[in-house]
Structure 1
């Protein structure tokens, strides 16, 4: 461990020195490199893939009373589209395994993270969590911009107490803050904990899937997005630590079970608290989720019905976006809905697409007669596939919290000739009231 500590300290020093010498070049390159970054709502499609995480989630489903299928999306399963940007290709040909040519800045940031992880005693597992988080948030870069005041490799926010802009854009400082514990710049000796808390402050993080552990610290609007970086993060950590697994220095009263068997169960509450839609994941992986289709009654051909009877929480029209804080058109109507609430086709039609749609998360669009389409956004699951004919009143999806939003809800859009129109007025003209109801 003394040798690793020395290597880590040297790596941090070299990384910091490189960043200082090349800060001007980095700033010029950041804009170009950022153009390719595109974050999407992960929902259950990205789920908790990689190194047994899927099986760990299924173990939680079994503990919740679900009968879990052998594989997701089987003949009986619901339709889940391939996640956008899932498992991106791992660069080759760089100075360190897992990096491409010219990625010296990224290597330096990764070295600083490994050095901080070594000092924090989080072992290979903790370093992998941190590298995966930084790959998602910044591509392992020292970004001087981000959503609102998010900055640095982990997109930490000065307004939330993570440090000054200069501090959180420093890889060593940011990594120590991410890991937390006694080595964190935010450690309070009197309380014995860091605030804001890092990975070490997350109880049981050692047994959590990488994406869940990362989300516990990051609290991202895309809680499952870290999963797709786990394989690359594992390779990077192995390359920078010599390949030998480094154990986590657990407290004396800790008992890590590890593995992916049912004995290593992360509770449903752990998943929900992290933002992962375990209920939707379980529904997508049960032996017979098609039973969802039996709910409700179909309506006469060509008639219209409300997809959901619930309270309206945000109407169609111009508004100040609650997340991005820009004045723009809200192209649909939001309804109060807990994750997993059944949603019904508004009328007969054909499923046009099921996909990931940026801030809208997992969506389903149904094409109806007369050039009309209805779009359901922020879903946790879709139980129909593109090309399916659906009847009005048929359950076609479950509400969720995928994509960008302030919490679980159902967003309904109606498009006429490709143009979004007010769903409430549209349905009212067809004898259906969307206002009112109980959430």
Structure 2
């Protein structure tokens, strides 16, 4: 949730149970940070705690602001302070950049970063539409740099355990439905001034912010298979500038499998996933940000029923707690840095799985937005083809080069289940496993 604001207090120290990692003897990945966004405070802390990364530089349009930001957030004294984003990208010692800028600026600065051979950790939503994201991916592929979005919960070891349950035919069966909610009650200052409600900065509003997480959760539960249809639910709320501040949608797959989500800046803090299968169900109350950073939990039920007098459940759902030695955002930075090191030092090809997951999430966001714009009309059959066509029309209307879209037109629509499971299992040891061959993702 990127927000441009001044830090108000020092970053908290990790709880006693969170392991503080000392930097590896080998050279860590050197990060440059573009901008002084509020979310960058959290990611900066994650970089500091990661065993294979270090904050090397920060750039802002104001060098005074960058200097104050670095001091307030405990940046190392050796960190370079620059008065522009370009200066960070021009520094030959910067290996990777974290980009928490407003979404409307992603395409410019992510493409420039890729052209300067900087690996990119990109805030979500990754772009205003999939056409823009394809241009970012194309730049990254052309320059051999790693791209990953900063969806932190994907790196939590709880995610592994939840996926194992959803994949168990005896305990969960076949997935039938998913519901996801991410809402929070924004104050009046947020609703009037935050970048997420400004059409020129983050035009997707709550759909691109909290909705990103809901859609990612739904796709994750569905093994990242794209839906057959996407229909915006009635009741979308816009602010005076026409930016979405509350919305929802229904998604459908072959065979009657369905999902719904609700995202909003107008309802109490809720971060839930409920997945129902033919034999079991799963529920999690804090999937985006765990209640505690050193542990997280979820509940499962299998073959649920009622007792004889229908006064209670039999059996009662089981609670599962998963401990972690590092917060999920630190695991994200650690995994990203591992991938960057493999490219930088070992000559590996940049991992394509992460941009693929980002692209699928963006495709569904685009489909929801298109359905909202059409008054709730469903986008049916080939979601990707429909969105690409809409994007081409929009780019032409904006005077952009429509031929630049489709940079990863060959990106897969399905991912093999066995490969996904291997990737999720490897989260437990610090991150997703890198496929032996990127062509294995089909």
TM-score (norm 1): 0.22
More strand, by proportion:
2
TM-score (norm 2): 0.22
Whose radius of gyration is greater, 1 or 2? Answer: 1
